[in-house]
């Protein structure tokens, strides 16, 4: 299989908590990866994939929720219909995320 398309999403989150961006797509074989490309303020910020939906042969979607931030993987490869990129920040912090979707065909 070859990569037929690449998409990127950039966003930031500030303050104590989780900040997410949901990307809905036509069901496709996708390698998705995310990285923390900037950070301000003291303490730790974390970035990962918090959730995705796998499209099954039956046409139904199967949810894959990774729970709290220590469990978020940086990458997945699956037949997906949506993905949630996330970053976790503390008080007085800002984190900048880059999410990338490589489509295979």
Cα-only R_g, the chain: 14
Structure tokens at 26: 């036509």
Average pLDDT score, the chain? 95
Q: What is the CB-side half-sphere exposure of residue 100 using CA atoms within 13 A?
A: 12
Predicted confidence (pLDDT) at residue 96 exceeds the cutoff of 90: yes
Q: What is the pTM of this model?
A: 0.93
C-beta neighbour count of 47 within 10 angstroms: 25
Domain ranges (residues) in the chain = 1-9+20-29+59-105
Q: Would you mind telling me the total number of residues written for the chain in this entry?
A: 105
* pLDDT tens-digit readout, 32-71: 999 998 999 888 899 999 999 999 999 999 999 999 999 9
Question: Among 87, 9, 85, which Cα is nearest to 47's?
Answer: 87
Q: How far apart are CA 29 and CA 54, in angstroms?
A: 10
Average pLDDT, integer, range 92-97: 94
């Amino acid at each position: 299989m070859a990569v037929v398309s690449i998409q990127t999403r950039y966003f930031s989150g500030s303050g104590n908590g989780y900040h997410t961006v949901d990307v809905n797509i036509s069901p496709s074989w996708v390698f998705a990866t995310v990285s923390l490309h900037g950070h301000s303020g003291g303490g730790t910020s974390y970035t990962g994939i918090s959730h995705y939906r796998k499209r099954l042969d039956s046409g139904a979607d199967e949810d894959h929720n990774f729970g709290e931030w220590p469990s978020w993987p940086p990458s997945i490869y699956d037949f997906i219909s949506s993905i949630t990129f996330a970053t976790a920040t503390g008080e007085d912090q800002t984190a900048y995320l880059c999410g990338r979707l490589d489509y295979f065909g």
